[in-house]
């Protein structure tokens, strides 16, 4: 079912917005093209929280609220301390030389980060991987053989990790063992396009961004399409937030603008619409 509500604009002029996260009453967005992590209030106020040159540069928060940033350029995860200082949380250099992409943190402080496995978009495709960064910073590979791993979510019970395989046209689920290892891989849903950034709602459905078809799509396990929102440019990722977690945020951009810089305003936007079910995760 199409959601016919006209999306409202929260932010515009972004170079390459990605990796939206809702935390502490604000939407956090990583602008890869500008090298900035921005926190935005629903009143339109914005704060540049971090400046870091990296492409990709996905983000998530530890349970105590500290920000983790994937510094793909330096093959590491960076942690922002309470005083704003950036320190190395985990060194990823021994686990992959290709770009590190999305990151998701579970309720125990385990951070999962994926490596796409090749130099997108011009390199020859090879499968990607997922690594686990434990709270103390140690890292190890926990999954491989993924067709361009992209957006990820962990269920609220810390039992399941779901990852979008963009080149596999599917969402793939793993059971999370007590030690953080990923086991029992299965197809959660096959989809008709290339899923990008994802989020989970309280009905157990997943929203994913679709760049090529310029839309956001909500699917249930098994692949049934429940809702979709058509945009005028590609949707790179989705996140549920707002006071009651019933607002769907979509980061959107023209693919041709994907490598724009902060030297001139980009066409990247953050859009929002009411959602049929509230989100799960951090407050």
At 48-65, the pLDDT tens digits run 999 999 999 999 999 999
What distance in Å separates the CA atoms of residue 172 and residue 165, rounded to the nearest whole number?
Answer: 7
Query: Residue 46 corresponds to which tokens in the numbers above?
Result: 């914005």
The confidence score (pLDDT) of residue 260 equals 44
pLDDT score for 283: 65
Cα 148 vs. chain centroid, distance in angstroms? 14
Query: To 5 degrees, how large is the angle CA 169–CA 112–CA 260?
Result: 65
Cα-trace Rg, the chain: 17
CATH 3.40.640.10 fits domain 8-274: no
Enumerate the β-bridge partners of residue 114: 130
Report long-range pairs for 94-97 (Cβ below 8 Å, ≥24 apart).
Answer: 94/139, 95/129, 95/131, 95/139, 95/140, 95/141, 96/129, 96/131
Question: Domain spans of the chain?
Answer: 8-274
Specify whether the CB–CB gap between 115 and 127 falls below 8 A: no
pTM assigned to the model: 0.95
Residues of the chain with confidence (pLDDT) below 70: 1-4, 256-265, 282-283
Closest C-alpha to 70, from 32, 34, 40, 39:
32
Strand blocks (E) in 119-214: 128-133, 139-146, 149-154, 160-165, 170-176, 182-190, 195-200, 206-210
């Amino acid at each position: 079912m199409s959601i016919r509500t006209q999306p409202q604009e929260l932010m515009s002029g972004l170079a390459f917005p990605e990796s939206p996260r809702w935390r502490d009453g604000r939407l956090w967005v990583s602008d890869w093209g500008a090298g900035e992590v921005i926190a935005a209030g629903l009143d339109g106020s914005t704060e540049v929280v971090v400046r870091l040159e990296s492409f990709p540069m996905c983000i998530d928060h530890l349970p105590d609220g500290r920000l983790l940033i994937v510094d793909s350029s330096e093959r590491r995860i960076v942690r922002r301390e309470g005083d704003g200082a950036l320190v190395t949380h985990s060194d990823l250099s021994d686990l992959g030389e290709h770009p590190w992409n999305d990151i998701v943190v579970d309720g125990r402080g385990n951070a999962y980060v994926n490596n796409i496995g090749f130099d997108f978009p011009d390199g020859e495709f090879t499968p990607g991987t997922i690594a686990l960064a434990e709270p103390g910073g140690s890292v190890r590979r926990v999954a491989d053989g993924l067709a361009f791993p992209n957006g990820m979510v962990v269920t609220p019970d810390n039992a399941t990790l779901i990852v979008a395989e963009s080149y596999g046209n599917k969402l793939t689920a793993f059971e999370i063992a007590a030690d953080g290892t990923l086991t029992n891989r299965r197809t959660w849903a096959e989809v008709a396009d290339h899923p990008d950034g994802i989020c989970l709602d309280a009905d157990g459905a997943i929203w994913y961004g679709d760049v090529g078809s310029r839309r956001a799509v909500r699917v249930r396990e098994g692949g049934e399409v429940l809702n979709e929102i058509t945009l005028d440019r590609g949707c790179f990722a989705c996140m549920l937030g707002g006071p009651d977690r019933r607002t769907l945020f979509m980061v959107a951009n023209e693919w041709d603008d994907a490598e724009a810089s902060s030297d001139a305003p980009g066409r990247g936007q953050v859009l929002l619409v009411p959602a049929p079910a509230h989100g799960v995760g951090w407050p």
